Amino acid sequence: MAAILGISAFYHDSAACLVRDGEIVAAAQEERFTRKKHDAGFPRHAVAYCLAAGGLTVGALDYVGFYDKPLLKFERLLEQYLGVAPRGLAQFVTAMPVWLRDKLFTRRLILKELPDFTGEVLFTEHHESHAASAFFPSPFAQAAVLTMDGVGEWATSSYGVGSGSDLRLLAELHYPHSLGMLYSAFTYYTGFKVNSGEYKVMGLAPYGEPRYADLILDRLVELRDDGSFKLDMRYFDYLRGLTMTNGAFAALFGGPPRRPESPLTQREMDIAASVQEVTEEIVLRMARHVHRETGMKDLCLAGGVALNCVGNGRLLREGPFERLWIQPAAGDAGGAVGVALAVHHLVLGGERHVPSEGDAMHGSYLGPAFTDDAIEATLRAAGAVYERLAEPALLDRTARLLADEAVVGWFQGRMEFGPRALGARSILGDPRSPHMQSVLNLKIKYRESFRPFAPSILREHLAEWFALDVDSPYMLLVAPVRDEHRIPMTAEQERLFGIEKLNVPRSTIPAVTHVDYSARIQTVHAETNPLYHALLERFHALTGCPVLVNTSFNVRGEPIVCAPEDAWRCFMRTEMDHLVIGSFVLDKTKQAPLPDDGSWRRQYELD
């Protein structure tokens, strides 16, 4: 029974995963422990957690897998710099020291961090890790696989076929022609942070019109019918500079990049809508080509672009595949899962067991859990005032608080793996409230007002509320609210532009309905999260609504909370009304305020 530790590290979102006898035992991102967003360092805390969750010591591990091949990536970097020399010197000088000190010697660094390990260290290619993370945990016995991100070693997108315990990649696109880099360039240009703010561009897109889509396809992207493409690198600076775009790009789109945190204009909204439309068109063409080449009826997705849930929803509606499955940690963190499963199946020949229901990710609840004793010790040490309730009373109280429009921090069970809060480390609200979106954005999350919130819904009621009737447990599909729940806009409201649209209720659940009547849906299942499912049932019985607002338990720039002390701090620093943590309920009005000069907000870099 092989014990395999998968590691992703050194770029962004470092993570660790423990696989034993082919089963995912534990997985977590390093950022959750260090409280440093997108922490790229060696995931020593995540490794320690995974080993503890599996009851193992380092010496009991049989293999350690790393999610890409550093030497191959170094080769690509050298070719890149030589290809643009003498330009690109600043980027070369910035990148080389860390490569020559650490990244080239990843095997040695792993052995230094795991001194009692006596097994073998193995490496997979980056997109092989993505593909393995997509197919092996999926509910499909066989399927096509499509991976899309910024760049691995050379590959930026790839496709292949998985069948049983086998996985073969058939073709790939190479750097610098990258869908992920294209989207990141527009993320930078619209004033958001690369590798963090891409989802803001996606959220901003419905406020605009795709007026620049033809310009993008005419001047930036040479797109072919099979979804392959080339970027005109005269407009981009990421090959040779320290920014994503250059002066030619700015001239093409009528001005310099938006200054971060400055007011958003209609131009940024239209640019966001345009790059989103182009991205969706590329993904659709890729998928159609993969379908033609593989003949498969199901598709698995991974890579950072697979977190574009708007595109995923369109692919499900308009694409050629009957079913989709998307790795919930589709970005680099999921590479830790992928490499561990690749070692088990592709190196060791381990058998693959396809679950009869759901998938092998266990709802993505793969992180730490805390006992009531541990939680109570934290609350006592903090001087908190709390009430302990048995489960039925806890659920009834929480449902009533939510129905009364309270904002509730919800901390229960094992922490989620991946970028989404799925009802274990969540902030919850009443979706029927017309004020909930602005309250959550401005008083709890301290983030931009335009950003939408997601609904959690009982799976058994999904089709009654949304134009979707497939599982979406990982909040990775966007679908429209059904017509009967929509509120038609008046003629005057139809004439509104941009952010003016924000405060117009679109449906009977306005807090989770975006300006285009869409929603990023999480279906909640009794099998994977019985407590959260039971809370939704109580709320449904009380209100007739089987939906809750679900956003991640953190403030802007902070990783999702991991431990009880993280939850307590976040609860006390924001205008959250109540905290429900384990068996305990806390009322903000009964707590002594923390001494606070506001300096804690500078602890977290803005995302």
Active centre residues (catalytic): 12
Strands 298-302 and 323-326, sheet pairing: parallel
Considering only CA atoms, which of 335, 345, 346 is closest in space to residue 127?
335
- Is the sign of the CA dihedral 16, 21, 117, 107 positive or negative? negative
Considering only CA atoms, which of 429, 457, 410, 461 is closest in space to residue 571?
410
From CA 100, how far away is CA 301, in angstroms rounded? 33
Instruction: Name the token pair of 327.
Output: 């790795």
From CA 267, how far away is CA 212, in angstroms rounded? 10
Considering only CA atoms, which of 125, 10, 105 is closest in space to residue 65?
125
Strands 298-302 and 142-148, sheet pairing: parallel
CB 542 within 8 A of CB 453: no
From CA 156, how far away is CA 127, in angstroms rounded? 8
HEC string for 90-108: HHHHHHHHHHHHCHHHHHH
Dump strand ranges (E) for 367-444.
Answer: 387-388, 408-411, 425-429
Tell me the residue type at 577: D
CB 27 within 8 A of CB 336: yes
From CA 507, how far away is CA 565, in angstroms rounded? 37
CB 148 within 8 A of CB 168: no
Residue with tokens 């009373």: 393
Instruction: Name the token pair of 318.
Output: 């308009």
Instruction: Name the token pair of 414.
Output: 């094992």
In the sheet that holds 425-429, the strands lie side by side as 387-388, 584-587, 578-581, 408-411, 425-429, 547-552, 454-458, 518-524, 477-480
Instruction: Name the token pair of 83.
Output: 């290809």
CB 205 within 8 A of CB 273: yes
The Cα-based distances of 587 to 50, 387, 407, 591 in angstroms read: 33, 9, 11, 7
From CA 281, how far away is CA 559, in angstroms rounded? 32
Instruction: Name the token pair of 420.
Output: 């989404």
Does residue 326 sit in helix, strand or coil? strand
Instruction: Name the token pair of 338.
Output: 């992928």
Instruction: Name the token pair of 178.
Output: 């990258």
Considering only CA atoms, which of 243, 250, 217 is closest in space to residue 232?
217
Residue 463 neighbours by CB distance under 10 Å: 12
From CA 5, how far away is CA 16, in angstroms rounded? 7
In degrees and rounded to multiples of 5, residue 176 shows phi and psi of -90, 10
From CA 510, how far away is CA 431, in angstroms rounded? 6
